[in-house]
Amino acid sequence: MDSAPRRPPQRETTTSPSASTQRPGHLSTDAKLHRLSTNQRLRLPQLTQTKQIMSGANDNKDPVRVAAGLKGVLARDDVSDGAKARAEERLNEMGYNGEDRAAESARDPEEDASTKHDNQVKGGYKATLKNPNVSDEAKQNAREQLGDI
């Protein structure tokens, strides 16, 4: 780090008639343009540097999260075809393929809902067995129902 103190912005001192109308401490338009062009030269990387920076940007990212984001791009309707093609290409490079998505969409939603319902029913009967406020008759019924399931 630079230990030199920062200097305040330069004030333009002119003796022109317009200098009396300028507010003190403000730069003229020419000075602002000079400062802008200097900042652009100092701060903006070249295109090749940008590509190098971007290629190394994903080295420390979680690949599962990256894949999830790319899959999200593929699922959205408001994304261009080009972006979808790049996302799919990147997923293929990472080892994911379209078969993963096909397998997920091939599941039957009604079967999933039925399984979920059955699991919730079992959970309810198990809770009945552990609840001290439930009668012995209800607990016996819960045991029978769990045996049938």
Say whether pLDDT at 130 is over 90.
yes
Round to the nearest angstrom and report the end-to-end CA distance of the chain. 70
Q: Check whether residue 52 and residue 86 sit in a common domain.
A: no
Q: For residues 86 and 118, state if they share a domain.
A: no
Supply the pTM of this predicted model.
0.32
Q: Say if residue 141 is in the same domain as residue 117.
A: yes
Whether residues 70 and 101 share a domain: the answer is yes
Mean pLDDT of all residues belonging to the chain: 75
Residue type, 32: K
Is residue 9 a part of any domain in this protein? Answer: no
The rounded distance, in Å, linking the Cα atoms of 131 and 125 is: 10
Do 114 and 137 belong together in one domain? yes
Residue 46 lies in a domain: yes
Classify residue 124: in a domain, yes or no. Answer: yes
Non-local (6+) Cβ contacts of 27 within 8 A are 9, 10, 11, 12, 35
74 and 94 share a domain? yes
Asked, for residue 16, whether it belongs to a domain, the answer is no
Tell me which of 100 and 98 has the higher pLDDT. 98
pLDDT for 18-77, tens place per residue? 545 556 666 666 666 566 555 555 554 444 444 444 455 556 888 889 999 999 999 999
Question: What residues make up the domain containing 31?
Answer: 27-57
Rounded-to-5 percentages of helix, strand, coil across the chain: 65, 0, 35
Query: Do 50 and 35 lie in a common domain?
Result: yes
142 assigned to some structural domain: yes
Element containing residue 6 per DSSP (H, E)? none
Q: Indicate the number of domains in the chain.
A: 3
48 and 64 co-located in one domain: no
